[in-house]
Structure 1
């Protein structure tokens, strides 16, 4: 196996998605990377099957559900010092031919790149906006409040960089669903902030890499397919509040001090209320879907 490249993924009852990701890895690169599966307490047997069926994969148990960033850090810590590049990837990603090799080639073109991310397609072929600007307080709040009720609002458009055509370029941050990172860059910022259980850990990582002098480079010539949100869709009571807590943490960390305490309080209260509304709506949608499915049987 090629020791300079490694792949780390985090699992939590990921089922057949994990098998698809590992199987498609064969077409993603001419290298032979080792794979670390950092498991957060799965009970579906998928990580064990993967370790058995794919000789290049090794299962590491985190000891419980420590969140995405914490588990990624645990997986990367298993790698030897000879590993130069780390691919962090969700288990529900499917690689396109040559996608990792494209990211590696871009890393050579951008020696100050701290992270490089591919173009991400959803299963229906649409492009997911994975290369975005770092949200300031106004943009982040506007997006959080209006994204689902006013699709064309200016804050969401600015946050998602909707006015920029896909091109290889530095951006504010890249989706943590799939990233290639030089190990030196990842270690220089101490990896992910494990206080983020889920969501916004990639925004925080990209922002910290940028502040440390690295670039976050979007590489649309590399393409992956991501079945995003399969875990969140099944567990809205857990995932949606986690998303809102992470959004608060990100902005609160960047707006410290006593003078901004009222602002942080207003943000906390507003996001908490929005979380309750979002959970209620998601649960209602799941219940309606269940009833519809039952009617068809």
Structure 2
């Protein structure tokens, strides 16, 4: 690794935060970010933009005037002046020195488009369960990547290479929010880019109490099905739809919401290259799955 200074890291990485009506969370998280920060506001009604401009004048605030969901991050990435962008939610932040290390890893690995970091949850800093899944990825570790290959990540724990992110379209308005990472991940892999987990790059997540558990479960069903329609073979789509229909009230509600967005998903449908589809199936097979010979 290089011995570049934190100021140099700031010239390489911009933190993009997408937020809506989370003024209290921003008050806690924004002071913890290193380097340039862009806040993209999704039409807040709680005075967040004015508060941030007054309290944190170093933060660049972009007001969208409406809720674009995960697409708000695309706006922040387009306005960033650095080659790499670290995402954060209004209730998350990167550990001291993490972005400098992430920039060094991205510099050293030109094929790396997404670096997925280790997410530590709450004051007790419990590793998010997804970290163990990524660390034990059956996809293995390519020699030109800094850690295990992945086909998914948590946006608030990821640093992306700006150019391939934008070329892949960033996050889309079909999935909109929650689970939006999968479609982007497989599209980047289909374009030949690498995605890898780096345990040494850490972020903190203190989940906001302003959450809707039922709504998120419905979104999980809806968005998994929409992502399948966007990129997976029809038998996979059929299995997911059947599972949703049999999944009780939450599953049926998710299926109904997915049907409303189906025309947009169908208009943008394209199946993955065989190698990426095979990798996705391997991940679905769960722990202990054996990768096919490359």
Fold agreement, TM-score > 0.5: yes
The answer to whether the Cα contact below 8 Å between 1:18 and 1:91 also exists between their aligned partners in 2 is yes
1:292 paired residue number = none
2:56 paired residue number = 54
The answer to whether the Cα contact below 8 Å between 2:225 and 2:241 also exists between their aligned partners in 1 is no
Q: CA separation in 2, counterparts of 1:119 and 1:263?
A: 31
**Closer, same or farther: CA 270–36 of 1 in aligned 2, 3 Å:** farther
1:169-213: CA deviations, max 9, x gaps? 322222111221111111120111221122111122212111111
The answer to whether the Cα contact below 8 Å between 2:93 and 2:205 also exists between their aligned partners in 1 is yes
Q: CA separation in 2, counterparts of 1:183 and 1:57?
A: 19
- Aligned 1:34-45 pairs, distance under 5 A: 35-45=37-47
Q: CA separation in 2, counterparts of 1:11 and 1:117?
A: 21
- C-alpha deviation, 1:92, in angstroms: 0.7
- Aligned 1:45-194 pairs, distance under 5 A: 45-67=47-69, 69-79=70-80, 82-123=81-122, 124-131=124-131, 160=133, 163=136, 168-194=147-173
- C-alpha deviation, 1:265, in angstroms: 4.2
The answer to whether the Cα contact below 8 Å between 1:131 and 1:171 also exists between their aligned partners in 2 is no
2:249 to 273, 276, 285: 273
Matched, 1:200 2:200: no
**Closer, same or farther: CA 214–272 of 1 in aligned 2, 3 Å:** farther
Structure 1: where are the runs of 5+ without partners? 27-31, 133-159, 279-297
Q: CA separation in 1, counterparts of 2:199 and 2:237?
A: 40
RMSD over aligned Cα, in angstroms?
2.9
- C-alpha deviation, 1:255, in angstroms: 3.5
Matched, 1:251 2:251: no
| TM-score, normalised by the number of residues in structure 1 | 0.70
Q: CA separation in 1, counterparts of 2:237 and 2:159?
A: 37
Structure 2: where are the runs of 5+ without partners? 1-6, 139-145, 255-294
Q: CA separation in 2, counterparts of 1:44 and 1:57?
A: 18
- C-alpha deviation, 1:93, in angstroms: 0.8
Matched, 1:9 2:10: no
- C-alpha deviation, 1:263, in angstroms: 4.0
The number of aligned residues is: 238
Q: For residue 195 of structure 1, give the secondary structure of its aligned residue in structure 2.
A: coil
| TM-score, normalised by the number of residues in structure 2 | 0.71
Runs of at least 4 residues off by over 6 Å: none
1:291 paired residue number = none
- C-alpha deviation, 1:77, in angstroms: 2.8
